[in-house]
Amino acid sequence: MTCEELAARIREIQPNLAPVEVARLCLLILTQVDDATILSDDNHLRRHWHSASFRLDAATDQHSAMADELDAICGEGPVRFSPDQIWTLLRAVKVHSQMLELYTGEATLV
C-alpha cells in the first residue's frame, strides 16, 4: 500500500481530518508496520490507526504540558537552576526524544 492509498483510506474512515493530520497518521502508521500490505485489511488498518492516534494524542498532551513547565522556568529569570528545574529540563529532553521516536519509529539515545 502506498502512502497515497493509505491517506485515501484514512480520509474514508475520518473525513473531517485536516490534510496535515492525515499526513501525520500515514507517517505514524507506516512506521508501525513492517509490511504495509496488511493495511489493506480493514481490521489491521483500524487497529494501527487507533494505535497511532492514541500515541499522537498522548505525545501531544505530554509535549504541551512540558512546554508549559519550560515556560514557567523561563519566566523565573536568569538565576541558578534549582534541582526541580534541572529535573524539568531532563523531562523535557525525554519528551522531545519520545516525539522523535514517535515520528521516526526508531529508539533515540536519551
Per-residue pLDDT of the chain (110 residues; tens, 9 = 90+): 788 999 999 999 889 989 998 998 888 888 888 888 888 888 888 898 888 888 888 878 887 888 887 777 777 666 677 788 778 778 888 777 777 777 666 665 54
| Residues constituting the chain | 110
CB within 8 Å of 105: residues ≥ 6 apart:
31, 32
Q: Give the pTM.
A: 0.63
For 102, the grid coordinates are 514517535
Q: Taking the alpha carbons of 101, 56, 3, 31 in that order, is the dihedral positive or negative? A: positive
